Amino acid sequence: MKGKKTMTHASQADELREKYYHSMGAALTEEGNLEEAVVFFQKAIDIHDTPYAWYGLAQALSDAGDVAGAVGAMTRAIKLAPGVPEYYHERGILLGSLGRPDLADDDIRMAVSIDSNYERIDTIKQAVRIISEAFGGPVLPGDVKGTEVRSKELGRLLDEIEARGRQMDAVFHKPSCPVVQCPAYCCHFTGKLFLHGVTVGPWKLQSLRKSLNEEGVPEEDLLETFPLAQAQHGERLFSPQDIMRRGGVASVTFPRQKDSRLGGELARDVPKGQDYRTLMWISENAKPCIFLADGRCSIYDVGGDPSLDSCASFLCMTGFVFVTLKYLGLLNDGAMSSKTMAELNGIAIDALIILASDVYGSEETVASNKEITQELKTAIELDRSNHEALCGAVIERYDILRARHDSLADRLIGAAGRKIARLFKG
């Protein structure tokens, strides 16, 4: 038994090492350190020949200008995961830039045949950018934030803007996903939960212990630990507060999994990530977290601390769009309840595009945003140069423009809401 445990830890240590190399590869690609990124992806592949490491390698090679190498790496990713549309789509783009439009067209067609949304993938990605910025972007222009002002009126205005930002943060920080039909795909994992970053922090652990104690359930039945000493670089993958000493060894604690598997039928309707990429860790063999009960997290509120940090930071594309619709008052629970998960995934994409094109990215909204931001900057400049009266006049104009902007937003959101409501009737 002891030997078996050591073997399991050894293979998990390998998986963790692979994850470290792979994450480093991705981080270095983003930083533009492409030579190093290629080395890290290759190290990851030496441990496990995974499609996502080949995909990462393809991106690093492509960014480094080795397009032929990138096509080769992407081909390997496709061989390992032939059902992932973005691999064909990306390879199609690479082949196009290599002067092979015939092969590129085949790949793009293949991506569309797997997922028809690839016909409008650029529109989807643009819509994601617009909505993420509208709901997660800075509420004040960078050079205005934290500005000390003389004018009381200007101070009131900046406070109002910051309060609006805080209100939005509260909605989008650790949101509870309103998609009740979802079997909570995001709580299913292929492999142990800690390999996907789902670990229990000290406060949640304390509250969990208390409640398990009250119920008479032994902690080991629900929680597992992994000693990080067994994995090179393991400590760099977890947030420092989630690394705790267990039996004198720095370890992470994570929920066990149930024995059931997601299965092929449910796995067909797995939503995409917010970047419209396939969620590679949710396969038909994925097993649910032990705390998943009737599609919901049974420890979400334990200890008054919503969710685990790692769980709270994830919302799939469908979840993100429905949280946004709920915030805007456009969610009709009744209409939603009659829809399948596959239908909701489709509605989420259509709704996202409507919100981006008709509301937040519309010409009227963009122009109005620009206008009020400019007025705000002018007011701050006048305040800094001690032009009190002029500053007051600009603030008055700002207030008028802001009111006009808010009524424009109400009108556009109302019209978009009617369009979105029709999606549920289709």
Helix (H) or strand (E) holding 254: strand 249-255
Tell the smallest beta-carbon distance from residue 117 to ligand SF4 (Å). Answer: 16
Tell the smallest beta-carbon distance from residue 169 to ligand SF4 (Å). Answer: 18
Structure tokens at 336: 């939603």
Contact residue for ligand SF4 among 56, 92, 255, 417 (CB under 6 A): 255
What gap in Å lies between CA 236 and CA 196, rounded to an integer?
A: 13
Tell the smallest beta-carbon distance from residue 158 to ligand SF4 (Å). Answer: 34
Are the C-beta atoms of 291 and 299 separated by less than 8 Å?
Answer: yes
Asked if 195 touches ligand SF4 (CB under 6 A), the answer is: no
Contact residue for ligand SF4 among 26, 53, 60, 299 (CB under 6 A): 299
Tell the smallest beta-carbon distance from residue 309 to ligand SF4 (Å). Answer: 10
Asked if 423 touches ligand SF4 (CB under 6 A), the answer is: no
Q: Show the site string, 317-356: x = touches ligand SF4 by CB under 6 A, - = not.
A: -xx-------------------------------------
Tell the smallest beta-carbon distance from residue 278 to ligand SF4 (Å). Answer: 13
Task: Give the bridge partners for 227, in sequence order.
Answer: 251
Contacts of 140 (CB under 8 A, 6+ apart): 158, 161, 162, 165, 376
For 233, list phi and psi in degrees, rounded to 5.
70, 0
3-class SS of residue 295: coil
29 CB neighbour count, 10 Å cutoff: 23
Helix (H) or strand (E) holding 39: helix 34-47
# of chain residues touching ligand SF4 (CB under 6 A): 22
**Footprint of ligand SF4 on 174-193 (CB under 6 A):** 177, 179, 182, 184-187
CA dihedral 32, 33, 36, 40 (to 10 degrees): -40
Tell the smallest beta-carbon distance from residue 183 to ligand SF4 (Å). Answer: 7
- Which residue of the chain is nearest ligand SF4 when measured via CB? 319
Within 13 Å and on the Cβ side, how many CA atoms surround 194? 30
C-alpha closest to that of 45 among 64, 61, 31, 32: 61
Tell the smallest beta-carbon distance from residue 177 to ligand SF4 (Å). Answer: 3
Asked if 50 touches ligand SF4 (CB under 6 A), the answer is: no
Asked if 316 touches ligand SF4 (CB under 6 A), the answer is: yes
Binding site for ligand SF4 (CB under 6 A): 177, 179, 182, 184-187, 198, 255, 271, 289, 291-292, 297, 299, 307-308, 311, 315-316, 318-319
